[in-house]
Amino acid sequence: MTDMPDRPALLTRWRPRGAVWLAAPAVLVLLLALAYPLAIVVVRSFTDPAPGLDNYVWFFQSAVNRTVLQRTFVVAAWVTLVSLICAYPYAYAMTIVGRNLRLALILCVLVPFWLSGVVRTLAWVILLQDSGVINSFLRGLGLPPVKLIRTLPGVVIGMTQVLLPFMILPIYSVMKGIDTRLLQAARSLGAKPWKAFLQIYVPLSLPGVYAGAIIVFILSLGFYITPALLGGPRSILLSSLVQNQVLSLLNWGRGGAMGVVLLVTTFVLLAIAAPLMRQNHSSTRREA
């Protein structure tokens, strides 16, 4: 079977020499503000106060540290899950509504970015506290109050709200490139509307879901202000422990070791997730 050959393109991609230098300013900033301090943290975790693995031995021998590390990952997973459940239908709605409504929905996503995280978190304190808005409402209905402030659910709620845009935006950017005529094609082949959605649309939206989930998960791991203000002694996350070691106890070595443990664990999780993402073998974009 010989098919008609595609004609060679007359124009090849415009690729001026030296274009790589356009990235120079960003690389410089990253080197100075990220790589260099990170290197110091890593080095000090092995050398401060004495060379060796003492800081890591201390970290893993402490039951508190292990519990907090585990809790940090559990909270990050919850935040990722709850964000996904809220973000997916929201992003889908953004792709199907009219232009004005879409603008309003985008605005709702972006406004939180314009507010200081501290201010937003304090607002959550007012909402969640024992005599706060939520519990007053429940009491008004004659229902028993729920303990939200200084609990893990409270922390998850607050963090989800802050991190939601990081889930919505990548999902939306993938969804808006999905050719919805594919759903029409699926229906013509005999798929009920919900089947067409599950079997065609959802798989095509997964790259956005993966991107959003990874961003939210990683940001959750290092979150500091929200868990510190909304959480209690039983909901302390690793970032608070690091803060305690470095700023209160001035123990740079132990703080650094905690940071390195968090970093390495994150890399391991990403390595596990990477093949999953590569599996999606598609250009979801509409073919010209």
- Exactly one of 188, 248, 271, 272 binds other proteins (CB under 8 A); that residue is 188
- Exactly one of 33, 192, 247, 270 binds other proteins (CB under 8 A); that residue is 192
The sign of the torsion formed by the CA atoms of 269, 274, 275, 277 equals positive
Residue 120 to residue 122: CA distance in whole angstroms: 5
Residue 76 to residue 239: CA distance in whole angstroms: 12
Task: Pick the closer one to other proteins by CB: 84 or 206.
Answer: 206
Residue 254 to residue 242: CA distance in whole angstroms: 8
CB 131 within 8 A of CB 72: no
- Exactly one of 186, 213, 230, 258 binds other proteins (CB under 8 A); that residue is 186
In the block, residue with structure tokens 């305690």: 244
209 to 228: interface string for other proteins, x by CB under 8 A: --------------------
Q: Nearest distance from residue 91's CB to other proteins, in Å?
A: 18
- Exactly one of 1, 19, 20, 107 binds other proteins (CB under 8 A); that residue is 1
User: Binding to other proteins (CB under 8 A): which residues in 7-36?
Assistant: 7
Q: Nearest distance from residue 243's CB to other proteins, in Å?
A: 44
What is the number of residues in the chain? 288
- Exactly one of 182, 219, 228, 263 binds other proteins (CB under 8 A); that residue is 182
Q: Nearest distance from residue 196's CB to other proteins, in Å?
A: 8
Task: Pick the closer one to other proteins by CB: 8 or 140.
Answer: 8
Burial of 123 (0-12, 13-18, 19+ CB in 10 A): middle
Q: Give me 208's structure tokens.
A: 């956005």
176 touching other proteins, by CB under 8 A: no
Task: Pick the closer one to other proteins by CB: 10 or 24.
Answer: 10
CB 90 within 8 A of CB 101: no
179 touching other proteins, by CB under 8 A: yes
How many C-beta atoms lie closer than 10 Å to residue 34's C-beta?
10
Residue 141 to residue 134: CA distance in whole angstroms: 11
Return residues touching other proteins (CB under 8 A).
1, 3-4, 6-7, 179, 181-182, 184-193, 195-196, 199-200, 203-204, 280-284, 286-287
